[in-house]
Structures are given as C-alpha cells and as structure tokens.
Structure 1
Amino acid sequence: MHNFLFVASENDAIPHCKAGGMGDVIRDVPRQISQKGDTVHVVVPSYSRLHQNAKFISDLSFSLRGLEYVAEIYEVKPKKDFSGITHYVIHHPEIQAGDIAHIYHNDLNEPFYTDAIKYFIFCTAVAQAVKTNIFGDLDVIHLHDWHASMVLFLRRYHKEYACLKNIRVIYSIHNLAIQGIRPFENNYSSVRNFFPDVDFNYDELKDRRYQDCINMMALGIRFSDAVHTVSPSYKNDVLYPSNPPEFIGGEGLEEDLNQADREGRFIGILNGCNYRNIRRARKNNLYFNIASAIFEWLQQESKKYKSDFLAHTGEKVMPYLKRKPDFVCSSVARLTEQKFYFFKRSPEAFLEILDLLAEVNGIFILLGTGAPEYEELLRKISHEKKNFLFINGQSEDVIDSIYLETNLYFMPSLFEPCGISQMLAMRNGHPCLVHHTGGLIDTVRHLETGFVFDGNSYDKKVRNMVDSFKHVLNMFFEDKTKWRLIEKNAKKERFTWEKSVDDYYKSLYKLPA
C-alpha cells in the first residue's frame, strides 16, 4: 500500500472549496487512487471558514518572520465518503478568504500580495504536519500550482524540513499564466520577510524577467521530481514562447519547461472526467434553480450594485419558467482573460452571437465570478440584451442544471491547459464549440464530437468564432440527423480518470499501477 499527500488551494470533495477546474482534479484523482487500495491525504487552506464544525487534529507550531506561528489542522467531512481518503484544512487567522470564490484575492496594485502571504503560511504548516507525521509515512507528495510550490522551497533550503527530501514530490501545472511572482525582499509579502533565517539561492529562484522577484510557478518546475501538465497538447504548446493573442505558450517559463523536458521530468497527461457517482440535478429545473439561487444571494449581498443586478437577472429569468427558449447556449467559467478574452476585446462579436440567438428564440447563459472588469462588461451586456442571462455567482444546482439542459456548450478559451467543462457537457451528450488550443484539441473533434474554430490571426479567430456559431445554429435547426450524430458521439466519448491515474503511477509517481 502506498501513501499520498495532495496539497492544493482548492478541493471540490469538500463543500465551498472550488473556484475552477483544479478543484475537480483534487476531488477525482484521490478517489481513483483509493480504488487501487492506496491511501490519500488531501490538505487545503481553511480560508477562515472551512474549519468550522470540523474535527480538530493538532496545533502546528513553526517559525515565520522570526516569530512563532501556530496554525491548526482539522479533518473535514467530505461531500461523499471514500475509503482511504482523508480531507484536511489548515486554519490560521492570516489565511483569509478572498474575493474570488471566497478563495483567492484579487490584488490589483500588487498582484499576489495577499495570496503569497497565506500560501507561505499554509505551505509551512503543511511541511510541519509532514514533519510531525500527521499524514503517516508518505511515498508521494503531489503539489498543485504555485500556491503549493513553497513546500519545495522548504524541502530544498529549510533545515527544519530535511525530512521532505526523502519523499518523491510531483508538481502539477493547472494554469501557467498565474505564477505567484513576489519580491525577494523589502516588502511585507516577500520571501525574505517571511523566511529571514533561511539561506536560499536567489539565482535558483528568480524570475527570468523580474530578477528581483521569486517566481513560485518556476520554483515548482525547477525543484520537483516530475512536472506534469494536464494535457499532451498543452505540454507541447508551453515549450514555445507566447505570442499573444495569436498563441499562448510558455508565458516566460519555456526555458525552464524545456530544461525539465530534456531531463525527462516533464510529462503531459490528459485530465479525466468522472462518469460514476455523479451529482445530478433534476431535469427541467434550470430556470427554477437560477431563480432560487438569486433569491438566496440577494439575502446575503451587502453591495447595492450587486443586489440590483441580481434583481435584474431574476426578472429576466421569470419568463423562462413558463416558456422555454428554442436553443440554449451556455458557459460556466471563472471570468478571466484566459476564458473570455475574445468577449472582452471584441464585445461586438459576442453581441453578434446574441443577435444570432435572438433570431431563433435562443438564449446564452453564462455563469461565473472573477475579474471585476469582466464582471462589469457582462453586467453591461446583460442590461443591453434580453436573451443574455449572466449568473454572477456560484451554485452547484445551477451548474449541474446548465450541463444537463444546454444545447451547445461554448468554450472560447484563449488557451486551455485541459478544461473539464467540455468533458462535463459531452458527458451529457451536448456538443461543444471550442477554440483550437491546448486540451481542447485533445478532447473535441470538429464535426464529429463538437465544433472547433481557429485562425492564423486574432481577427480571423474572432471572425471564425462567429461564423462557427452560425454553422452550429444552422445545423441544429436544418440538419437534425447530423446534429443528433454529433450529440451521440459526444456522449460516447470517455476521458477516464482510470486511464489518467494509471499514467500518473507509471510516469509521475514511478509506482506499480
């Protein structure tokens, strides 16, 4: 039997701890590992809320900023129990909930200022928990994105945590664009301030562009025993420099990634999708679930502009409780440049899509929270276009209903390491319209299981996006035989975690599957 520790910022196996697709991975991979008879411990921050009503395990004492810090580790009850998996959260008053999904902070003036502080504390607490044997004797520690990479800093430089050197450490990249760059010193949220007594090597840690800063994504790539990204096509993309917006590649880290590749440490394995024990919504409940969520959010919302918009959205939903549209297009995603750059830069293209939908009594439902400028744009368009429902919140019931009752799932990602949403839509037999990038290349086949747009310039990409949408609507209404075949093919596709985790054991963990 092997013993694993997963360290991440999100975990959708426990309630209210998800902002994006990483939460799905942290939920599903341990479940697949447990089916092999191995044990998994999963730890995330508490964000000053997830430890409430949880089981206290231990205090964790460690030194930061030349002071004694005491964090607390709790065992949390998951949404579903699986033998061999234990879920934990770490609480400390400085590990606060952010404004993005009550997890991440959006520090506009100093990016990653607040998040770096909380993940410095979190990672040190995790290292202390490993040292005090709370997770038992570990064979593998699997870190996810920059939020967990400081465990590798401690492993390499901190004398208190030399025990980490005896454990294989894997680093998974979920979003290469978000790198956790902070100053080395002369700032409260700096490495030197939090680790004043640690003798670290600046050259090994520095960002190649901002040499007075640490790049915590680079740290994970440079110091882990294996680097993993979540689709083969995305792995190939990131070995080349970015040329935005036509091509998003290594985002300044291609030199480190090529080095890892030359060393045989860089592996692309497609994420899987859960096809068993699925949380299902009741059919024909989409608009009821939206209305119900809005009423709940209205009772909690203190900002007037947000409550006004919720009321506006509620009014737009009401007619659909009685009379459904003839076509539903949907998107569920964090509102970021990665997901909706095409809408932000070319809102006229999105407005054209909404007009095409209006001609066929169709609507566009977009659910998400995220960057303020994206929320503001989508609120504005919602006021302009009757057939655009912008659900500016997070609700599992609404999300499940969207995946169940949509006709077309739209994923115009500028880049996409893997993507889980297209798999969830296809699982329900719904075709997707996607941009030809990253993991979307590996999962959607044009005119077979869905629709793909591309172009050799930004303008051509946007034009092809709109033209592809016209093609989709034309096929749906004029060629039902072809449409139903694509639906059938989409539903038959299987991207299983069983296969993905077998590849993890072989290529990442170096363990018998």
Structure 2
Amino acid sequence: MNNFLFVAAENDGIHNCKAGGMGDVVRDVPREIAKRGDKVHVVVPSYSRLHNDGTLVANLNFPLRGTTYTAELYQVAPKKEFDNITHYVIHHPEITEGGIAHIYHDDPTEPFFNDFVKFMVFNTAVAEAIKVGAFGDLDIVHMHDWHSAALLFIKKYHPNYQDLKKMRYVYSIHNLAIQGIRPFYDNYASVHHWFPEVPLDIEALQDPQYPDCINLMGVGIRLADAVHTVSPSYKEDIMLPSARPEFVGGESLEKGLQKANDEGRLYGILNASNYNNIRKAEKGLLYRNTVKALFRWLQDESKKYKADFLAHTGEKIMEFVTDRPKFIVSSVARLTEQKFYFMMRSPESFEKMLESLKKVDGIFMLLGTGDPDYEEMFRSLSYKHKNFVFTNGQSEDLIDSMYLETDLYFMPSLFEPCGISQMLAMRNGNPCLVHHTGGLKDTVEHMKTGFAFDGETFEAKLEDMVVRFDEALDIWQNDKPKWKKIQAAAKKMRFTWDKSLDEYYDKLYLL
C-alpha cells in the first residue's frame, strides 16, 4: 500500500473549502487513489474556521521569523466518507480567511501580501507534520499551485527539514497566471523575514521579471520531481512565451517549463469530470429556477446596487415562460479576462451573435459574477438586447438547469488549463462552441463533438468565432440529422478519472 499526502489551498472533499476547479481535483483524485487500495491524507489551511468541529491530532512547533510558532493539526469530517482517505486542516491565528470564497485575499496594493503570510505558516507546519510522522511514512507528496510550493523550498534549503527528501514530490499547475511573487528582503511578507536562518539561493529562486523577488510558481516548477499540467495541450501552450492578449502561454516561466520538459519532468495529463457526482436536476425548471434565484438576490442587502438590473432580468424571463424560445445558448463562468476577453475586446462580435440568434428565435443565457468591468459590460448589453439574459449571481440549481436545458454551450476562454464546463455540458449531450486552446483543444473536436474557433490573429479569431456560431445555428436549423449526430457524439465522450489516474501512477507517481 502506497501512502500519499495532498497539500493544497482548496479541498472540495470537505465543506466550504472551494474557490475553483482545484478544489474539485483535490476532492476527486484522492477518491480514485483510495479506490485502488492506497492511502491518502489531504491537508489544507483552516482559514480560522474549518477546524471548529475537528479533532485535534497534533500540536506542531516550528521555527519562523526567528521565533517558535505553534500550529494545530486537526482531522475534519469529509462531505462523504471513503475508506483510506483522511482530511486535515492546519490552524494558526495568522492563517486567516480572505474575501475570495473565504479563502484567498485580494491584495490590490501589494499583491500576495496576506496570502504569502498564511501560506508560509501553512507550508512550514506541513513540513513539521511530515517530519514528526503525523501522516505516517509517506511515499508521494502531491502539491497544487503556488500556495503549496514553499514546501519544496523548505525541503531543499531549510536546515531543520533535510530528512524530508526521501519521498517523491509532484507539483500540479492549475493556473500558471497566478504565481505568488514576493520580495526576498525588506518586507514583512518577504522570504528573509520568515526564514532568517535559510541562506537564499537567489538565482535558483528568483522571478524572471523581478530579480529581487521569489516566484513560488517557478519554485514548484524548478524543484519538483514531476511537474503536471492539467491537459496535454496546455503543456504545449505554456512552453511558449505569452504574447498577450493574442496568446497566453508561459507567462514568463516558459524557460523553466522547457527545462523541466527537457529533463523529462513535465507531463500534460487531462483532468477528468466526475460522472458519479451529478446533482440530479429536473428538466423544464430553467425559467422557474432563474426567477427563484432573482427573488433570493433581490432580498440580499449586498446586491441592492443592482436591484434594478435584477428586476429587469426577471421581467425578461417572465416573457419566456409563456413564449418559449426555440434555441438556448448558455455560458456559466467567473466574469474575468480569461473567460470573456473576446467579448470585452469586441462587444460588437457578441452583438452579431445575438442578432443571428434572434433570427432563429433563440436566446443567450449567461450566469456569473466577477470583475466589475465585465459585470457592467454584460448588464448594459442586457438592457440593449431582449434575447440576452444575464443572471448576475450564483445559484447551483439554476446552473444545473442551464447545463441540462441548453442547446449550445459557449466557452470562449482566452486560455484554458483544462476546463470542466465543456465536460459538464457534453455529459448532457450539449455541443459546445469553444476557443481552440489548451484543454478545450483536447476535449472538443470541431464538427464531431462540437464546434471550435481559431485564427492566426486576434481579429481573425473574433471573425471565426462569429462564423462558427452561425455555422452551428445553421446545422441545428437545416441539418437535423447532423446536429443529432454531434449531440450523440458529445454525450458519448467520457473524460474519466480512472483513465487519468492510470497516467498519474505511470508518469507522475512512478508506481
């Protein structure tokens, strides 16, 4: 039996510990490992809240900032019990919750200031827990994104943790764009301030653009035994330099990634979708669930500033209850540059798509919250276009209905490490229209399981996006057999953890 430790900032295997797709992976992969008869420990920060109903397992004492810190390791209850999986959180007063999903801090004045502090305490506590054998004798330590990369720094350079070297360390990149860059010296949230006893190997740790800073994402890439990207095509993308906004690639870390690849340490393995963990939704509740969500948000004090808009969306939806549209296009996503830059750059391209939809008596439904500029843009487009329904909030029930009742799912991500939405849409037999990039390239095949747009230049991509959209509508309207064939092919596609885990064991874990 192999013994694994997963170290991450999020874990959807326990309650209230998820901000994005990483939480899903840290939930699903341990379950798959446990099924194979191996043992998994999963540890995340407690963010001052997750330890409350836990059982104290150990007090951990370790050096930080030239003094001794004591943190507490708690075992906590999972959402669902599985043999061979144990969930833990680490509590310390400086591991605080942030405003983003009660996990991350948004530090506009000094990027990563608060997150650096809490993840340094967390990673050193994890190193101490490994050292004292809190998780037993480990074979594999699997870390996720920059939040856990300091563990590699501690293992390599800290005099107290030299005996952590015997197990294999695997590092997964979920979002390369967020890198955890902080100064080496002269700052409360600097490396030297937290680790005064560690001699700093500046050259091996520094950020390519800011030589007086550490880049923790870069540290993970340079120091792990195996580095993993969450799709094969994203691996290819990030070994090339970014040329924003046309192309988002290695974000200044491409040389380190090329080196990892040359050394045989870089692997692209597609994330999977969980086909057992499906919330059962009923068909026919799309508009009712929209109205229910709108009523709930209207009573929420924090949403007062958009009460007018919510009411406007409600009026729109009420019309569709009696006069049902013939075709529904939908998108569910955080409203960010990554997901909707194409619309921000060219609202008129999006408006062309809405005009095409109007001709077939179709509507476009978008659900999401996020960047205020993107929210504002979509709100103003909604006032302008009767067939654009923008539900500016979050609702699980409504999201389920959208995945269930949409005809075409639209995912124009500028870059996409893996993407899960397209898998969820395809699971229901809904073709997707996607940008031909990263994980979307690996999951949607143009004219076979869906539709994809691309182009040499940004303008060409925008043009192609509208052309492919019209092409999809044309097939739906005028070639029903072909449309049904694409639907059936999309529904047949299965991106299972079982398949991905075979590759994990073979390439990442060497088991």
TM-score when scaled to structure 1?
0.93
CA 1:498–1:143: 2 relative to 1, 3 Å: same
Cα distance in 2 between the residues matched to 1:155 and 1:38 = 24
Q: Is residue 55–residue 75 contact of structure 2 (8 Å, CA) maintained in 1? A: yes
Q: 1:110 to 1:285 in 2, by over 3 A?
A: same
User: Could you tell me which residue of structure 1 aligns to residue 152 of structure 2?
Assistant: 152
CA contact (8 A) 1:246 1:456 kept: no
Q: Which residue does the alignment assign to 2:42?
A: 42
Q: Which sits farther off after the overlay, 4-13 or 498-507?
A: 4-13
**Structure 1 residue 252 displacement after superposition:** 1.0
Shift of 1:196: 2.4
1:104 aligns to what?
104
Q: Secondary structure at the match of 1:250?
A: coil
* 1:273-288 superposed matches below 5 A: 273-288=273-288
Q: Distance in 1 between matches of 2:499 and 2:183?
A: 41
Question: Are residue 172 (structure 1) and residue 172 (structure 2) matched?
Answer: yes
Separation in 2, partners of 1:300, 1:479: 46
Aligned letter for 1:122?
F
1:302 equivalent in alignment to 2:298 = no
Alignment-derived partner of residue 407 in structure 1: 407
Q: Report deviation, 1:153.
A: 1.1
Of 166-175 and 319-328, deviating more is 319-328
Structure 1: how far apart are the matches of 2:102 and 2:355? 34
Provide the C-alpha distance between the structure 2 equivalents of 1:68 and 1:326, rounded to a whole number of angstroms. 66
Structure 1 position 309, deviation (Å)? 4.5
The aligned counterpart of 1:464 is: 464
- Give the superposition deviation at 1:355: 2.9
Report the RMSD for the aligned CA atoms in angstroms.
2.1
Distance of 2:210 and 2:250 partners within structure 1 = 16
Residue in 2 aligned with 1:385? 385
User: How high is the sequence identity, in percent, across the aligned residues?
Assistant: 62
CA displacement 1:209-237 (0-9 Å, x = unmatched): 11011111100000000011111111122
Residues 176 and 251 in structure 2, CA contact (< 8 A), matched pair in contact too = yes
1:91 to partner: Cα distance: 3.1
Contact 2:335 2:369 survives alignment (8 Å): yes
State the secondary structure of the residue aligned to 2:228.
strand
Paired residue type of 1:7: V
Partner of 1:359: 359
Post-superposition offset of 1:453: 0.4
Moved more, 446-455 or 373-382: 373-382
Counterpart secondary structure, 2:394: coil
Q: Any gaps of 5 or more consecutive residues in structure 1? A: none
Query: How much does 1:116 deviate?
Result: 1.9
Q: What amino acid is the match of 1:502? A: D
C-alpha distance in structure 1 between counterparts of 2:394 and 2:69, whole Å: 33
Moved more, 170-179 or 322-331: 322-331
One-letter identity of the residue aligned with 1:443:
T
Superposed CA deviations along residues 17-47 of structure 1, whole A, max 9, x for unmatched, are 3222222211211111111011111222233
Query: Cα 1:9–1:313, aligned 2, differ >3 Å: closer, same or farther?
Result: farther
Paired with 2:471 and 2:265, the residues of 1 have a C-alpha distance of 42
Cα distance between partner residues in 1 of 2:311 and 2:53: 33
Instruction: Tell me what 2:136 maps to.
Output: 136
Deviation track 1:446-477 (CA, whole Å, cap 9, x = no partner) reads 00000010011000101111111111112212
The structure-2 alpha-carbon separation of the partners of 1:321 and 1:54, relative to structure 1 and needing over 3 Å to count, comes to farther
Deviation of 1:199 after TM superposition, in Å, equals 2.0
* Aligned counterparts of 1:324 and 1:54: Cα–Cα separation in 2: 49
The one-letter code of the counterpart of 1:86 is T
Task: Find the aligned partners of 2:50 and 2:318 in 1 and give their Cα distance.
Answer: 34
SS, match of residue 207 in structure 2: coil
Name the counterpart of 1:398: 398
Letter in 2 for 1:150: A
- For residue 24 of structure 1, what is the aligned residue in structure 2? 24
Q: CA deviation at 1:384?
A: 3.1
> Where in structure 2 are there 5+ consecutive unaligned residues?
none
Are residues 98 and 389 of structure 1, via their aligned partners in 2, closer, same or farther at CA, if it must alter by over 3 Å?
A: farther
Out of 462-471 and 79-88, give the one that drifted further.
79-88
